[in-house]
Amino acid sequence: MRVTHLASAAIAVVLVAALFLAVLWRPGSATDVLGVRGADISFAPQEEAAGTVLSDGGRQLPVERILAAHGGNYVRLRVWVNPPAGYSDERSVLTLARRARDAGLKILLVPHYSDFWADPHEQEPPAAWRGLDLAAMRSTIRAYTRDLVAKLAAQGTPIDMIQIGNEITNGFLWPLGSVQQGTPEEWSRLAALVNSAIEGAHEGMPGRAPRIVLHIDSGGDVGRSRYFFDSLIHAGVTSFDIIGLTYYPYWNGSLANLRSNLDMLAARYHRKVLITETAYPWTVTGTKPGDWVTTAGQLPDGKSLPATPAGQEQFFARLRQILHDVPDHRGLGFLVWEPGWLTVAPKPGEPPPAANLAMFDRQGKALPSLDAFRP
């Protein structure tokens, strides 16, 4: 009789535990683990050289260590071919890759295929590559990508993903790889260049090819996103794994717009979708002309997500939920844009425009939004 009571009690405990777990964990719920939870930290060496100190709970730590301590698992590292002195060159990316791996973080590599910033408004080829015809450019981008990936692997920091260009919505390596007119000939040239870069990435890590990300800037724009991927796939680019999107609500629309786009992309192209750049303000007080966000009116969801530390934290909670809700579990995750970027000029002589978008206050103290990286 006593054994029976003990057995019944044990069964009851198991049932209660199972019921608790069933309530706590549901596919698509906010307790699922996103595969990518990280940040672009490419400005970290420059911030440190400028004297910026980041702290979390009273402890001064490098940004990658704080990221990892809060549950982050990825860094995004950009690299330019021959940038101005001190900016993200090959040496910088190799150093940051070692730091990231030492902190237990995986790497998304972002070659811009340019000497400096590349985005939908400017996609200048490196000075050393200018004037090349299509065949020569294909050979050059393939070799450059292969060698860059191989160097990272050789130092014991193999990459896990590579983004082929940055925000290539209008193509890259202009004018050769521009698709601003949208002709079949343009898309064919862009496809050839993208495929050559993908081949180089695979050759740089034979036997363990990194996952390929194609990245555009239209996080909240269903039509623009569909046009790009329909056109590029039709032109012959099919060997990519992940659709990457920039999503800054003050430029790319509401969270509802983002949800619609993510759902469309996942259903139409049967690939994982990744927010490769995002950020949200924790204040609009003390901003200056030239800052990216200076008023609450720039925030499409500002009434429910104010520009406060709590509002910033809640933005990332809602972003995570949207990613969890993407059909067929194709919401891969997100990468925050430069959470520790507080003082460094984006270009020599320019003031920094995004200190109020960081995940640290102006004194470098951690904000609650860092818990967005929790598993």
| Angle of helix 222-234 versus helix 255-269 axis, rounded to 10 | 20
pTM to 2 decimal places: 0.91
Point out the catalytic residue in the list 64, 124, 167, 338.
Answer: 167
Whether residues 218 and 312 share a domain: the answer is yes
Point out the catalytic residue in the list 64, 186, 277, 338.
Answer: 277
Whether residues 21 and 150 share a domain: the answer is no
pLDDT score at 82: 98
Arithmetic mean of pLDDT, 85-113: 98
177-216: per-residue pLDDT in tens? 999 999 999 999 999 999 999 999 999 999 899 999 999 9
Element of type H or E holding 343: none
Whether residues 180 and 267 share a domain: the answer is yes
pLDDT score at 33: 77
Arithmetic mean of pLDDT, 279-298: 97
Whether residues 14 and 50 share a domain: the answer is no
Whether residues 20 and 105 share a domain: the answer is no
Q: Considering its fold, how many domains does the chain have in total?
A: 2
Please choose, from the candidates 207, 204, 173, the residue with its C-alpha nearest in 3D space to the C-alpha of residue 191.
173
Whether residues 69 and 130 share a domain: the answer is yes
Q: How far apart are CA 343 and CA 125, in angstroms?
A: 28
SS3 163: strand
Residue 25: is its pLDDT beyond 60? no
Domain extent at residue 12: 1-32
Domain harbouring 101, CATH code: 3.20.20.80
Whether residues 224 and 326 share a domain: the answer is yes
Q: Which two tokens stand for residue 67?
A: 């990221």
313 is catalytic: no
Whether residues 137 and 110 share a domain: the answer is yes
Q: Which two tokens stand for residue 325?
A: 């809700």
Whether residues 119 and 19 share a domain: the answer is no
Residue 296: is its pLDDT beyond 80? yes
pLDDT score at 131: 96
Whether residues 181 and 308 share a domain: the answer is yes
Whether residues 274 and 203 share a domain: the answer is yes
Q: Which two tokens stand for residue 317?
A: 């909670």
CB 201 within 8 A of CB 153: no
90 is catalytic: no
